[in-house]
Homo-oligomer: A and B are copies of this chain.
Amino acid sequence: MRSTIISIGDELLVGQVVNTNASWLGDQLTRIGCRVLRVDAIGDERGLIRREIEEAARRSDIVIVSGGLGPTHDDVTREAICDMLGCDLRIDEEQLRRIEKRFAERGIELNERSRRQALAPSGCRTLPNDYGSAPGLAFGVGEANVFALPGVPSEMKGIFTDQILPDLAAAAGDIEQKTYLTFGITESALADLLADTIPLLGPDVTLAYLPSPGGIRLRAMRLGSASDAHERYRRLLQTITTAAAAWIITDRDEPVAALLGRMLTERGLTLATAESCTGGLIGAALTDIPGSSAYYLGGTVTYADGAKVQFLDVEEDLLRLHGAVSEEVARAMALGIRRKTGADIAVSVTGIAGPGGGSTEKPVGTVWIGVASSRGVEARRYLFGREREYVRQRAVSQALALVREEVLAVDRIAGHEGAI
């Protein structure tokens, strides 16, 4: 299956909104073996929207449109679809009842503008929206199936997941995939390690390198059903797990924080954090995982020196002698949060995210990460570049990777080696 994603909205062109809808949809479609030919972002223009959908329908089996279904005069996707299908707008009674119910629950009066959200082109099948006001729309153009969804991410995702994806996945047929997350190796070094996979690849067996601050994800897929494809896919997985074994930290398609959650839960271990330059991002990543309260006890954002003393009992002498960004303070922070919370494992981060605060000795990007457990305490120094947001993201990923290593090291002492 071939697909085109059309994102509608002036906000995407003027740079106000990053097009995360398109990347989410691209990921979902790719996972069911549906090839995404292109992503086009266009403004709220009735004629252009129509031409764009018609053109996409000529080259694609599936066209996913998002945006332009809101309540303001800018939103003209419905009207463009009416032009295309030669039909009128009419109120979708089922959606109107949902809107009335949501407004009643919240005690808000329903105005005419919100009522108009239940309008849908009469030539479309409507996809009820439980997450917002405007229903999704399904219709055919030539041989293509077109779906128009609201631009609000939670509404778009809800309708796509519940009402579109299951049918597409069923139609996609027999595919297999496996995702590995590697950490601590560059993309080109990984490509060298995996050179033997190249003869195994083709249109029906693919391997994608997907880099992110949290590591490089490898996604292997089998799209064809020839016995030859089955065999090459089997050998591909074997080659990856053999050649890259030292760098693979999980063979599930999950964030590192979810992997850590499983590892900690299985061992009955708890975790605490003491953050400085990451400012709460590690806690945010950990608590992004539902159920994290079972193993994540919490932590501190000790941005100011006073807070490091107050919450973590870091000695003022250490701060004066070595500075807040130092091995000694990273160690003291990890020990302090572990003692205060009683956590089995504690991780601390202190660094200079920039743009200010750097020096020759401690340039911007210098980050110390400390880890404390029953094994003792250790801190390591990293240099994560010059860009503030990148420094913070890299520090989060490295801290989570060090916690994983510590869990495995605690295992070895306890004689549990081999688990996960």
Question: Which B residues are in CB contact (< 8 Å) with A73?
Answer: 191, 198
Main SS at interface, chain A: mixed
Given A290-B354, A297-B304, A303-B297, A15 and B42 contact (CB-CB distance below 8 Å): no
Give complex CA distance A131, B293 in Å: 39
Q: Among the listed B106, B113, B279, B307, which residue makes an inter-chain contact with A341, where contact means beta carbons less than 8 Å apart?
A: B307
Give complex CA distance A389, B285 in Å: 11
Nearest 9 pairs of A and B residues by beta carbon: A279-B287, A280-B280, A15-B27, A280-B283, A15-B26, A298-B307, A283-B301, A39-B41, A13-B36
Interface residue tally of chain A, by bracket? 35 or more
Q: Mark A101-142, 1 if CB is under 8 A from B, else 0.
A: 000001000010110000000000000000100000000000
Of chain B, the residue at the smallest CB distance from A286 is B279
A355 → chain B, closest Cβ, in Å? 6
Give complex CA distance A290, B387 in Å: 11
Q: Is the CB of A41 within 8 A of B43?
A: no
Question: Which B residues are in CB contact (< 8 Å) with A219?
Answer: 14, 16
Q: Is the CB of B16 within 8 A of A28?
A: no
Q: Is the CB of B277 within 8 A of A280?
A: no
Give complex CA distance A410, B354 in Å: 31
Give complex CA distance A188, B311 in Å: 45
Q: Among the listed B23, B70, B279, which residue makes an inter-chain contact with A283, where contact means beta carbons less than 8 Å apart?
A: B279
Give complex CA distance A131, B384 in Å: 12
Q: Is the CB of A303 within 8 A of B307?
A: no
- Could you jot down 17 A-B contacts, CB within 8 Å? A11-B208, A11-B211, A15-B27, A15-B29, A16-B217, A16-B219, A19-B23, A71-B187, A73-B198, A275-B280, A279-B283, A279-B288, A279-B292, A288-B389, A298-B311, A299-B300, A300-B311
